[in-house]
Amino acid sequence: MQKLLEQCSVWSLRQAYTEVFSEVRSHPEVVQRLERAYTLLSRDMEYSIERGDSKALLQFRIRSPHGEYTVVPSQQSCTCPDAQQGQYCKHRLAVRLLLLALKRSHQAKMARELEQSR
Ligand SMILES: [Zn+2]
């Protein structure tokens, strides 16, 4: 994950967390997983997230101490047991946070560049 994660700042990850939290706050079981997802992104070195191999479909491979799972954001799917039971699992939430954080970091970087080029 560390390569993907290096591209986003702590600030953007925090912003992403706030955004997703506001969407799921009425579902305590999802909020709990969101906390977990944020923690594993921000400081759990036992996890890694990489882009999957498929060119046609955006997917991510998550390595965890419990196994390796694949998240496909466009299909709202993950291959972990939690997701098989219909839960919004922490892997999907982690990918969601990562994508939002990357977007925000990218926008912030573009804004800085524009600012400097004036
Ligand atoms: Zn999962």
CA of 110 to the centre of ligand 1 (A): 32
Percentage of the chain beyond pLDDT 70 is 97
Chain length of the chain: 118
Report CA(93)–ligand 1 centroid distance (Å). Answer: 8
pTM to 2 decimals?
0.88
Q: What confidence tier does 83 reach under pLDDT thresholds 50, 70, 90? A: very high
Letter for the amino acid at 5? L
The Å distance, Cα 54 to ligand 1 centre, comes to 18
Whether the CA torsion 89, 30, 41, 5 is positive or negative: it is positive
Rounded to whole angstroms, how far apart are CA atoms 17 and 35? 9
The CA 52 to ligand 1 mean position distance, Å, reads 15
